[in-house]
Structure 1
Amino acid sequence: MKKLLLLTFILGIFFTAHAQFPGGFGGGAKKVTVTGRITATILDSLTKKPIDYATVSLVTVKDNKSVNGGVTDEKGKLSLQNIAPDSYKLMIGFMGYKTKTVLVTTTPSKLDNNIGTIYISGSENTLADVQVQGTKAVIENKIDRMVYNAEADGTNAGGDATDVMRKVPMLSVDINGNVQLRGGAVRVLINGKPSGTMATSVADALKMIPAEQIKSVEVITSPSAKYDAEGSGGIINIITKKSNAQGVSGTVNASAGTRQNNGAFNLTAKTGRLSVNTALGGNFAYAQNSRVVISNITRVDNVVVNDVLQDGYSKWSREGLNGSLGVDYDFNAYNNISSNIKFNSFSNGGPGESSFFTNGVKQINISDMDMTFRNMDWNVDYKKTTKKEGEEFSISGQLSTGRTPQNFSNTFIPAGATSGKAIERSNTSKNNEYTIQTDYTYPFTKNSILEVGAKGIFRTIKSQFDVSAQDFDYSQDVAAAYGVMSFNLTKKLKFKGGLRAEYTSISFNTKANGIQKNDYLNLFPSAILSETLKGNATLKLSYNRRLQRPGQNYLNPFLNDSNPINLQQGNPYLDPELSDNLELGYSTYIKGSIINASVFYRRTGGVIESSLTANEAGTPLTTFINVGNSQTYGFNLFGSYNPKPKWTLMSNIGINTYEVNNTTNNFSTGTFLNYNLFARSAYGFGKGYNFELFGVVNSPRRTYQGKTDAMIFYGASFKKDILNKKGSIGVNTLNPFTKDLHIQTVNNSIMNAVTINQSSNIYYPLRSFGVNFSYSFGKLKFTEKKKIKNDDIKQDQQQGGGMGGGVQQ
């Protein structure tokens, strides 16, 4: 706590110094002439895709003197600051495109000029190499990330964020919604920041988000020290749809199907310097039977002492509602403030019935379950720029609250009886999180940029049990500071490196041992070398150190006995994972085709995995432990090719090894090979007709105690543009030739003379057919504001409770 107070004191000095020296390192206060800004969005005239890294120069009309300039971002957006009132020529150039000049004027009464969309056309000798005519690229490669444009993939309609994740290259998603990036754990952000919906279960949080609300998914494999250190495999950032245009604009999406129904509405109203946006979404999944068969065999000295078979079903439904309201205001060309409040409410559960055969004796279990997740996130962000292009200071605050009441009931009826005794359990968790963050960017030159910042996170978790005389209280405070420097080593060789320090203070109580404390300090270096080769090819070498702190469900000691042969419990004594990551990547563009290849190595200490053990009565119990250390080698290859101008083929293959060792226990799993495959074909017939096919294969997933079967997902969509291309209507299907997805998980636990063999077979109703509709009104263009980014917690990505270990529809 002393170090947290010290951080607060340092931040106070930082803020005071910045107020006294608004020009950054330049010294005393400057006399600033009243200026404005010029903004625009640069698009390809044929594909309507954003042109990123286009070079823009601003020259005066009267003497052709250059006064400002810059490059567009990944969305084609340009913003030139500190522009004095005058008449200018905006000159736009990009390799392979014709240079375009646009006349622009600003006046003392109208300092800001939003030009809107500017289209530039390819030169004659490059038009034949345009990747797709009339369709947006689904996959884009950036220097530090791969971007999956979900809104350009028609097969997503009618699904949720879990369905979207299954189609993102390099990701693998299992039957419960657990997400891995190249075999490693990930941190999931929404619009660049954490959400209270992720505090309990990432899998459940992803099911709350209708696919129609997702614009894109960013897969960041080489985060710099500016990011929180969480995520041994990297970071996934889900970008939701929003707009920022003069006047009123928005989108409406609706889908209905045999598995799930979604609705989403987004609206933005902007006038002058004020922008207000709101979003509302909902989803409902029909109750369908999920069959579960679990077999537990317990042996002592190789003699069977307990043989239990469970065969039954759960009939769960899911429903969710989410909404947000945001306000953004520019005081002038240098100062901006924004605030956003977001809420989520999600519930799932329902009845179930199972037959139990314990050593041949039968009984019936009538079960019911209700799990609710309610979360609210509220953030306020202030950003200040100066006359020096690229200099920026920001301060952000965020409050996140979450409530997760859970209720379980089981009625056990002996064979031949008509009634039995009901056992009820409940657990309510309350999660509050407060964050303060500041960042400062100073460009010494155009290519030499310094980034520094500090952050404090204060978390409290209270878990109330109905069967415990003592509740579980947990607090975690994190103080962090970072510095990152970017510069060019040569004309084509760029370097970006930095160091992040994070101090963690933990306090918690347990019924058995009272108050416990655990404090630790970690340093996280990062470095990226990137060289531009001939033909627009790029070679990248990166290193970073990452961390995984256990999240709420990993720690919560609540004993979930809703399934009497599959008990579940968290472990408050878990240590964090620490990993070192090394990656070598290559990307190139060849006549409209994209090739991206990478090899990587990751070493992780203190790997956290679920562990099958037994309680004092010998009943199987699943909890979490630090298994040992692992080394992972991997390879990823992505390619996109256009056999014809309107036909796009793309594929991704990812391969990585799995191996865990523990020298203390003289334990090793051996080395196994995991893989995931993704393929997509999209064809535009013209006149607004588009057809798509996709397929995903995830290999069997290994753990230190067993494995889970491979999974195959495939689907198709047909879409027609309507209403002057402002709307679309379509049909889609998922796994149409397979009613249920059958997944088997086998675990084997050996504890001295006791051996437990557990086999779980889940029949998950996945096949679906649906129709969808979307409509856009107004003039849409997407923007992002800098927000708080808490990405330091390892989340429980498994649904707890319910029959059969918590499989959801």
Structure 2
Amino acid sequence: MRSLLFSLYFLISFCGLSQEQQTIIKGRVLEQETNMPVPYATVVLMDAKQNQAISGTTTDEDGKFTVEASVSGGYLQISFMGFKTLTFKELDFSKKETDLGTLYLEQDTEALDEVVVRAEVSTTQFKLDRKVFNVGQDIASTGVSALEVLNNVPSVNVNIEGQVSLRGNSGVQILIDGKPSVLADESSNALGTITADMIDRIEVITNPSAKYEAEGTAGILNIILKKEEKKGLNGSISLNTGIPDNHSVGVSLNRRTEKFNLFTQLGGGYRSLPRDNTSENRNLETGISVLSEGTEYRNEAFFNITLGTDYHINDLNVLTLSGNFAYEVEDQPSHTYFSSYQDTILESEWNRKEVTDATNPKWQYELNYKKEFKNNEEHTLLFSALGSFFGKAQESEFNNITTLGSAVNPDQQTETEFQQADYTFKLDYTNPLSEGFTLETGVQYVINDVGNDYEVRELDGENWVVDPNLTNNFEYNQKVLGLYGTGAYEKDKWGLKLGLRVEHTNLHTLLTNTKEDNKQTYTDYFPTVHSSYKFNDDFSVQLGYSKRIFRPRLWDLNPFFNFRNNYNIRVGNPDLQPEYSHSYELTGIFKLGKATLNSSIFYLYTTDVVERVSIFQDNVTLTTPENVGTNNAIGFELNGKYSPLDWLSFNGDFNFNYFQRDGDFEGQSFDFNGQRFSGRLTGKLGLPADVDVEVSGQFESDYKTIQGDNSGFVFMDLGLRKKILKGKVVVNLAINDVFESRIFESIISNTNTYNFNHSKRGRFFTLGLSYGFGKGEAMTYSGRRR
């Protein structure tokens, strides 16, 4: 394409020139430091008198070039981003052919530094069926995990419990490099092993095309990880420390040769994540209340390594083999204070202490084969096979110490053996049949095999006795076969993409203790439509529709889930059915001088909505997921960026949706209307001496739930960066949740009961230092998870 543009440009230039002797100039361009070829370097033959281009080309994969022109004089310029421009003024145009031999480009450290500066701020791009959030080196990302990065992405919110929602809807499918991954499993907290420096971009797909599996009623978040391919040896090293404990070291290395690209990332450290909790369960009929207040900790030592290689068999075939291994050792002490009241009279008090130890091994391996066809580089066949495993071996002991009144609860022990194995096989074929029309088709087969062996023991005198009512072994096996086809027509102004996906699901769960067997088999059709029209360079619109599904996961189906606070227990529902959604969206993209503005109007209709319903009995709140009716939501979203000055920029987004719920559960009506909105504003200020300051503020409104209300909140993050040695060394300081105002608070109130829950993580300080070598850029690595 670049050669074609050069040819058109110089063809016009030739119209005004007289015929001269035909001259051929050729040579080869290498890097001075590594002796590696420089592909796609710009080679231009310039007119010395008028100082304008006469002819030009780009170097090939081996760094070779050939320039032809009919001239009697001039000079040659060779340039490439990040290198000093090479100029030849003494050329002999009397010869028909001149071979300049091997030429060397010298690295321009100042130019490289400028490139890094331009890439520091995260930006959002709009494509036919998705928004692409390019992850920059925002200061607020210092020492944070993928969850915190997601919380900076427009349309995405992550609460302090780590639950990810898209436009207020928690039915989100999270992918890694376009595929399901154990690292994207929210329930295992594995997103913490992915850190900000490892992420290249995040694709927000609110209306996915049929190419993607239909899981996730809210849409898809696709996390694309970095895989450096700069030739030679490149890398970076980082150190981080923080309060509360957040200490880590990270290394990223890449070695590229003609045939192989070897890449690795590894890190390790220790972190402590305290969380303050307060709750109240009140029986309005009997006047009995149980209050609890305490702090939970998650102290964790961790290690993570990614290793892989690309083998370029030839120009058209690439084989990739990669693997990831992570290991965590957890210590989760907690101390909760309980008090029981009859009306306003204090009747009893006791402390509940928890000591929990756990080991969490995680690994993943993947084989990819990509074939390109000679007629078009976008004509491809891609096969991938992925396997992953997540395990948890956990033991807990709960001791209850009565300080007032009679003993209420016995001491307890729990033991968990959890294993999850996932396998994904994909075959995708893409064929650009013409310049504007592209056909895609493929097949995917996903196997999820999970087992959770859970045992509860109570102290009876001096003996620990197994409680059969709380002990279970739950097995979960799901297989999904998907077939899809899409056709897309896209020109400069107008584009249209149609698709259909068919998925067959086979789900089997078994509670081995009671022999409760649940089998579900169903086939679904998922059509998709996407269209775009560009009115001019400053205004374009997009239109999309998709049908999606949310399949209940293990944690939704397992009858036993949480036993930490035995007055607030979460359990699963093995009879839970999938929910379905129909999503419609209209987006406008505007450019207004130094500002860009993107706005969307969307409508989401969801059936068999999965909601967590709380049942209050004997002062215990039991929360379980249920299918409760339908949800109609219409919303408006606004994203923008404004850079009034070179050293000042603002990014912001606002999301509003109005919803109507219809449904009932066990004779209770859940019909109600509500609204929810959120916003984020980030300002970046560039100061002298390579110092940057970043301030980010975010707010969440309160909103109604099917049984009560969740409170709103406002919080702020602050960051400071200093660059040393032209960006090769970077020092970062970040303060997350400056005013400790980021909370989760819910109230469930009816005529008979009242339930209140409040949680807070608190303020986090992180200091980071990183160094980049070769062509590697200084990064910000940390293992902080939440």
| TM-score tier after normalising by the smaller chain length | 0.7 to 0.9
TM-score (norm. length: structure 1): 0.78
Alignment correspondent of 2:233: 248
The superposition leaves residues 222-264 of structure 1 with CA deviations (integer Å, 9 ceiling, x where unpaired) of: 2111011112222112233331111111122222121323432
User: In the superposition, relative to structure 1, how do residues 105 and 668 fare at CA in structure 2: closer, same or farther (>3 Å)?
Assistant: closer
Task: Write the mapping of 1:680-759 to structure 2, written as runs, cut at 5 A.
Answer: 680-736=682-738, 738-739=739-740, 741-748=742-749, 755-759=752-756
SS of the equivalent of 1:561 reads coil
Max radius of gyration: which structure? 2
Partner of 1:269: 255
Equivalent position amino acid for 1:196 in 2: V
How far apart, CA to CA, are the structure 2 residues paired with 1:547 and 1:100?
A: 56
Q: Check conservation: 2:160, 2:760, Cα contact below 8 A.
A: no
Aligned residues of 2:348 and 2:404 also touching (Cα < 8 A): no
- 1:378 to 2:365 alignment: yes
State the Cα deviation string for residues 79-104 of structure 1 (Å, max 9, x = none).
xxxxxxx9998899xxxxx9994342
State the match for 1:582 in structure 2: 584
Superposition deviation, residue 658 in structure 1: 3.4
Paired AA for residue 173 in structure 1: V
Aligned partner of 1:328 in structure 2 is: 310
**2-structure distance, mates of 1:438, 1:653:** 38
C-alpha separation in 1, matches of 2:252 and 2:321: 17
CA offset digits 1:384-415 (Å, max 9, x no partner): 11112021111111111111223322112223
Residue type of the alignment partner of 2:272: Y
Instruction: Please give the secondary structure, in 2, of the residue aligned with 1:201.
Output: helix
Instruction: Say if 2:773 is the partner of 1:777.
Output: yes
**1:742 positional shift:** 4.8
How many angstroms apart in 2 are the aligned matches of 1:557 and 1:575? 14
Cα distance in 1 for residues equivalent to 2:741 and 2:297: 14
Please report how far the alpha carbon of residue 418 of structure 1 lies from its aligned counterpart in structure 2 after TM superposition.
12
Aligned with 1:104 (options 50, 59, 67): 59
Q: Aligned partners of 1:279 and 1:116: how far apart in 2?
A: 32
Asked if the contact 1:149/1:216 (under 8 Å) is kept, the reply is: yes
Q: Secondary structure, in 3 states, of the residue corresponding to 1:57?
A: helix
1:567-578 pair list within 5 angstroms: 567-578=569-580
Specify the alignment match of 2:94 in structure 1: none
Q: Give the aligned partner of residue 414 of structure 1.
A: 402
Aligned-partner Cα distance in 1 for 2:116–2:257 = 35
Distance in 2 separating the partners of 1:695 and 1:168: 13
Q: Structure 2 residue aligned with 1:443, among 414, 432, 443?
A: 432
1:636 counterpart = 2:637: yes
Aligned partners of 1:605 and 1:629 also within 8 Å: yes
- Once the two structures are TM-superposed, the CA of residue 669 in structure 1 deviates from its matched residue by 4.1
Counterpart amino acid of 1:756?
T
Which residue identity lines up with residue 745 of structure 2 in the other structure?
Q
Q: 2:298 aligns with which of 316, 328, 331?
A: 316
Percent sequence identity over matched residues?
Answer: 25
After TM superposition, list the pairs within 5 Å mapping 1:196-211 onto structure 2: 196-199=182-185, 201=187, 204-211=189-196
Tell me the secondary structure at the aligned position of residue 298 of structure 2.
strand
Residue 41 of structure 2 contacts residue 79 of structure 2 at CA under 8 Å; is this kept in 1? no
In structure 1, the partner of 2:553 is 551
Change (3 A) 1:530 1:60: closer
Deviation at 1:56, TM superposition (A): 5.2
SS of equivalent residue, structure 2 residue 706? coil
Following the alignment from structure 2 to structure 1, what is the Cα–Cα distance between the partners of residues 81 and 195?
Answer: 32
Contact preservation (8 Å) 1:278, 1:324: yes
- 2:485 match: secondary structure: strand
Counterpart of 2:551 in 1: which secondary structure?
A: strand
How far did residue 153 of structure 1 move? 0.7
Q: Is the 8 A contact 1:161 1:207 kept in 2?
A: yes
Q: Which residue number corresponds to residue 759 of structure 2?
A: 762
* Distance in structure 2 (CA, Å) of the matches to 1:611 and 1:372: 31
The yes-or-no answer on 1:168 pairing with 2:157 is no
Aligned equivalents of 1:457, 1:479: Cα separation in 2: 7
**Structure 2 unaligned regions, length at least 5:** 13-38, 46-52, 66-77, 85-113, 342-346, 457-467, 779-784
Residue 428 of structure 1, CA deviation: 1.7
**1:656–1:552 Cα change, 3 Å:** same
User: Which of these residues, 597, 600, 609, is aligned with residue 598 of structure 1?
Assistant: 600
- Structure 2 residue aligned with 1:124: none
Inter-partner Cα distance in structure 1 for 2:182 and 2:627:
25
Whether the aligned pair in 2 keeps the contact of 1:639 and 1:651 (CA below 8 Å) is: yes
Q: Which residue identity does 1:401 align to in structure 2? A: F
- Matched-pair contact (CA < 8 Å) for 2:43–2:79: no
- 1:253–1:774 Cα contact (<8 Å) kept: yes
Q: 1:584/1:106 Cα in 2 relative to 1: closer, same or farther (>3 Å)?
A: closer
Cα distance change of structure 1 residues 533 and 249 upon mapping to structure 2, 3 Å threshold: same
1:526 offset after TM fit, Å? 0.6
Matched, 1:194 2:171: no
Contact 2:676-2:702 at 8 Å conserved across structures: yes
Deviation at 1:296, TM superposition (A): 0.7
- Aligned mates of 2:483, 2:54 — CA distance in 1: 43
Q: Within 2, Cα distance between the matches of 1:449 and 1:106?
A: 27
* Deviation (angstroms), 1:691: 1.6
- Counterpart code for 2:124: E
Q: Secondary structure at the match of 1:340?
A: strand
443, 448, 452: which one aligns with 1:454: 443
Alpha-carbon distance in 2 for matches of 1:374, 1:133? 38
SS in 2 for 1:206: helix
Decide whether aligned partners of structure 1 residues 777 and 597 sit closer, same or farther in structure 2, where only a CA change above 3 A counts. same
Count of residues paired in the alignment: 681
Tell me the residue number matched to 1:125.
Answer: none
Alignment partner of 1:337 is 2:322:
no
Q: Is the 8 A contact 1:133 1:646 kept in 2?
A: no
The residue aligned with 2:455 is 466
- What residue in structure 2 maps to residue 403 of structure 1? 391
Aligned to 1:786: none
Amino acid at match of 1:265: V
Corresponding position of 1:484: 486
- Matches of 1:305 and 1:160, distance apart in 2: 44
Report the equivalent of 2:336: 354
Partners of 1:442 and 1:542 in 2: how far apart?
22
Quick one: distance in 2 between partners of 1:771 and 1:101? 48
8 Å contact 2:675–2:703 — kept in the other structure?
no
> What is the match of residue 647 of structure 1?
648
* CA contact 1:427–1:558 (8 Å) conserved in 2: no
Correspondence for 1:522: 524
1:57 is the counterpart of 2:46: no
Pairwise CA distance, 1:513: 5.0
Per the TM alignment, residue 497 of structure 1 is displaced from its structure 2 partner at its CA by 1.1
The 3 A distance-change label for structure 1 pair 352 and 498 is same
Residue equivalent to 2:542: 540
> What is the distance in 2 between the residues matched to 1:749 and 1:347?
42
TM-score, normalized by length of structure 2?
0.80
For residue 560 of structure 1, report the CA deviation from its aligned partner. Answer: 3.1
Distance in structure 2 (CA, Å) of the matches to 1:542 and 1:368:
50
One-letter code aligned to 1:581? S
Structure 1 letter corresponding to 2:629: G
Q: Report the alpha carbon displacement of residue 743 of structure 1 after superposing the two structures with TM.
A: 3.9
Q: Does 1:227 align with 2:229?
A: no
Q: Which residue of 106, 121, 138 corresponds with 2:122?
A: 138
Shift of 1:761: 2.4
